[in-house]
Amino acid sequence: MKPPAPTVPAPLAAGHSKDLQSTRNPLIVWLRQDLRLSDNPALASACESGRPVLLVYILPERDSPWFPGEASRWWLHHSLASLDAQLSPLQNRLVLRRGDPARELVSVARDVGAAGVYWNRCYEPRERAVQDQAEYELTKWGHSVHTFDGSLLVDPARFLTKNSTPYQVFTPFWRAACLRDAFSPPVAAPTRIPKPHCWPHGLQLEELELLPGRNWTTGLAACWEPGEAAALKRWREFLESNLETYQATRNLPALAGTSRLSPHLHFGEITPRRVYHDTVRSLAAISCNSMDYENQTACFLSEIGWREFSYYILYHFPRTPHEPLRSSFADFPWESRPNWLRAWQQGMTGYPIVDAGMRELWQTGWMHNRVRMIVASFLTKDLQIHWSEGARWFWDTLVDADLASNTLGWQWASGCGADAAPYFRIFNPVLQSQKFDPQGDYLRRWCPELARLPRKYLHDPGSAPSSELRCAGVKLGRDYPPPIVDHAVRRDLALSKWKNLR
């Protein structure tokens, strides 16, 4: 149900200024990608004031740019429910609204006579514009605004090269970031969040209509538990059990070798600050094998660095969700093949590692990072379909769909972005499969129709003799598709196009 448009009252009369300074007037904390209580600078600062605190989440209208995809909306629904449950023992609750954020914030602030509005800054182009508009409208109506760093380790606005230009290569960016920034430690969760004396109008969670209409969330619910408590639990388990073997296992999709924190980080249920400082503290506590452990932690923290880098690039090059960073790629002759795109989306390309990844994505809302690189290379270089088609599909199906990381990843894979893999680096899906899933456990899990094939042919069923296929109960074209393209032929064509473009 769409809420009625809020009525914006007249500006404050001069005589009302003292009323706004009353300790009964609450502070609003506007939540977005910070659905947590701990290490939330805006919330902590508001609570330290001693005033009542009102936590507000505003869902934009569905026609807003980069409105969350279906898998993300499923996560958001449950994350909001989890946060509201956290607030209940503290005698507080979430106020949910829907509409234009600036207008809704002014409406809430006027309804409760807010003394100020606090928020943690976001860095996507749309969010920056929304923040600017909200600050303008709120100050116009007499409400003070206080903003904080709560999402990233590095503030993109104040971090440039010695030549005052943005970094475009990851390694010097991350090296400089680690040398120049101390990365402030996380702040504790407030033990008390005083509730306001009156509550403004708010929607029920179901009224936000976040849950997908199609019945495909069973797999998501089986794999994920949104919320801050679940994020911290997953992080502790990884830190205690997996970090010491991270470098050796992170590229093997059949193993649980990665942290799987990406959706929790995206929705702000845990911060990169906490991850960074916990990792460094863990390293300091190790007294033996410290060099090996240091390598593991440096490797893991570099992945946090890549997330920082993606936001940095998006901040300085806000056109990249729609246009290649390397402008020469704007003229690349991409192909329009709806049937190929559909086969890729459905995991029916005839290349098992690609199909396994796409099926994992559909069922769980997530895909292993190594496999993400493989399926992206296949779409953009074997099928030569525009990278934005892949980015759009990931946006709708990933629970960790993050505009910055998604854009950087797809432009990296297609060769047109920051620190991009050269276009002539084209993953061979069969060799990648053999290298990173040598036993075929990942393939058998997600392509069970191939499970009886000998390992020799599992990675490339199209090369199997008919006798082996028959023994395994596989008929190509019936049980599993033949390869939709010849990798060697398409590779040569891609290279030819790239040379002509140069």
Q: What confidence tens digit (pLDDT) does each residue in 433-444 have?
A: 999 999 999 999
Mean pLDDT of 14-40: 77
Give the whole-angstrom CA distance, residue 442 versus residue 254.
5
Mean pLDDT of 150-175: 93
Does residue 97 contact residue 203 with C-beta atoms inside 8 Å? yes
Give the whole-angstrom CA distance, residue 229 versus residue 25.
31
Find where tokens 């904390």 sit. Answer: 29
Confidence band of 91 (pLDDT split at 50, 70, 90): very high
Find where tokens 């970031």 sit. Answer: 177
Give the whole-angstrom CA distance, residue 178 versus residue 156.
14
400-456 pLDDT, tens digit per residue, is 999 999 999 999 999 999 987 677 789 999 999 999 999 999 999 999 999 999 999
Out of 75, 340, 387, 395, which one is annotated catalytic?
387
The percent of residues in the chain predicted with pLDDT above 90, rounded, is 85
What tokens appear for 104 in the block? 């809704």
pLDDT at position 289: 52
Find where tokens 């395994």 sit. Answer: 472
pLDDT at position 291: 66
Top pLDDT among 47 and 288 is at 47
pLDDT at position 253: 98
Find where tokens 């600036």 sit. Answer: 102
Give the whole-angstrom CA distance, residue 447 versus residue 359.
8
Is-catalytic flag, 369? yes
Task: Say how far residue 87 (Cα) sits from the centre of its chain.
Answer: 25
Which residue in 498, 492, 469, 501 sits closest to 482, CA to CA? 469
The CA dihedral of 319, 321, 323, 326, to the nearest 10 degrees, is 90
Of the listed ranges 116-120, 150-154, 290-294, 410-414, the one predicted with least confidence: 290-294
Is-catalytic flag, 387? yes
Mean pLDDT of 277-306: 83
Calculate the alpha carbon distances from 278 to 138, 283, 448 in Å: 37, 9, 39
Q: What share of the chain is helix, strand, coil (3-state, %, to 5)?
A: 50, 5, 40
Of the listed ranges 186-190, 241-245, 348-352, the one predicted with least confidence: 241-245
Out of 225, 303, 323, 468, which one is annotated catalytic?
303
Out of 334, 449, 468, 498, which one is annotated catalytic?
334
Q: SS3 of 58, please?
A: strand
pLDDT at position 175: 93
Give the whole-angstrom CA distance, residue 83 versus residue 36.
7
pLDDT at position 197: 92
pLDDT at position 473: 97
Give the whole-angstrom CA distance, residue 386 versus residue 414.
9
Mean pLDDT of 293-316: 94
Give the whole-angstrom CA distance, residue 406 versus residue 62.
20
Assess whether pLDDT exceeds 90 at residue 283: no
Out of 306, 344, 362, 412, which one is annotated catalytic?
306
Mean pLDDT of 280-308: 83
End-to-end CA distance of the chain: 53
Q: Which residues, in sequence order, are bridge partners of residue 98?
A: 59
- Does CATH place domain 21-151 in 3.30.43.10? no
**CA R_g for the chain:** 25
| Sign, CA torsion 37/43/44/47 | negative
Query: Can you state the angle between helices 369-377 and 387-397, rounded to 10 degrees?
Result: 140
Assess whether pLDDT exceeds 50 at residue 8: no
Mean pLDDT of 452-467: 96
Mean pLDDT of 217-232: 95
Confidence band of 218 (pLDDT split at 50, 70, 90): confident
Does residue 395 contact residue 401 with C-beta atoms inside 8 Å? yes
Q: Which CATH number fits domain 327-501: 1.10.357.10, 1.20.1260.10, 1.10.579.10, 1.10.1140.10?
A: 1.10.579.10
Assess whether pLDDT exceeds 90 at residue 471: yes
Mean pLDDT of 345-362: 98
Amino acid at 232: L
Is-catalytic flag, 66? no
Is-catalytic flag, 468? no
Q: SS3 of 157, please?
A: helix
pLDDT at position 1: 35
Mean pLDDT of 395-399: 97
Mean pLDDT of 147-155: 94
Mean pLDDT of 219-242: 96
Q: SS3 of 57, please?
A: strand
pLDDT at position 4: 37
Is-catalytic flag, 141? no
Q: Mean pLDDT for the chain?
A: 92
78-88 pLDDT, tens digit per residue, is 999 999 999 99
Does residue 375 contact residue 344 with C-beta atoms inside 8 Å? yes
Which residue in 154, 150, 213 sits closest to 179, CA to CA? 154
The percent of residues in the chain predicted with pLDDT above 70, rounded, is 93
As its CATH architecture, domain 152-187+225-317 has Alpha Horseshoe (1.25)
pLDDT at position 158: 85
Give the whole-angstrom CA distance, residue 264 versus residue 270.
6
Is-catalytic flag, 30? no
Mean pLDDT of 19-42: 87
What secondary structure letter does DSSP report for 328? G
Out of 141, 216, 225, 369, which one is annotated catalytic?
369
Assess whether pLDDT exceeds 70 at residue 288: no
Mean pLDDT of 353-380: 97
**Lateral strand order in the sheet of 27-31:** 94-98, 53-59, 27-31, 116-120, 144-148
pLDDT at position 7: 35
What tokens appear for 48 in the block? 């330290």
What secondary structure letter does DSSP report for 196? P
Q: Where exactly are the structural domains of the chain?
A: 21-151, 152-187+225-317, 327-501
Out of 340, 366, 410, 446, which one is annotated catalytic?
410
Helix (H) or strand (E) holding 94, with range, is strand 94-98
Confidence band of 22 (pLDDT split at 50, 70, 90): low
